[in-house]
Structure 1
Amino acid sequence: MGRKCQLTGKSVMSGNHVSHANNKTRRTFSANIHERRFWVASENRWVKLKISANALRTIDKNGIDAVLAELRASGVKV
């Protein structure tokens, strides 16, 4: 899967380094991706997800059960 968020789909973007003299060279912007384990009490097991920091806030807000239900509905095997 590489460096892509399983929840939001955020991944690497490309852009330019711009120097003081306005010289431009290509570079990549990496998404803030972390591999995290979540305890799912309803299934009595750990679930490992590769998610962005933004997705971690979404999980804090909505709960892991709601997020997993949404992921499974979209066809992701978790």
Structure 2
Amino acid sequence: MARKCELTGKVANNGYAVSHSHKRTKKLQKVNLQQKKVWSSKDNKWVKMLISTKAIKTLTKTL
């Protein structure tokens, strides 16, 4: 299973780690995923989801 947010669809980002001498090596910036129980009003039950922390912030802000 890929490291992907089930709500927003966020995935890892490619970037560079830049040293003091400005040598660049490729690195992967991973998504900050957390397991969270979310209430599903459609199914009337709690659902465990793997979602990003940004999505958790927006969920709590809208509620």
TM class by smaller structure: 0.7 to 0.9
TM-score by length of 2: 0.81
One-letter amino acid of the structure 2 residue matched with residue 13 of structure 1: N
What is the Cα deviation at residue 41 of structure 1?
6.8
Runs of 4+ in 1 over 3 A off after TM superposition: 39-42
Count of aligned residue pairs for this structure pair: 62
> How much identity, in percent, do the aligned residues show?
37
Under a length normalisation based on structure 1, what TM-score does the superposition of the two structures give?
Answer: 0.68
SS of structure 1 residue aligned to 2:34:
strand
Unaligned stretches of 5+ in structure 2? none
What residue is the counterpart of 2:46 in the other structure? 46
Deviates more, 1:12-21 or 1:2-11: 2-11
Higher helix proportion: 1
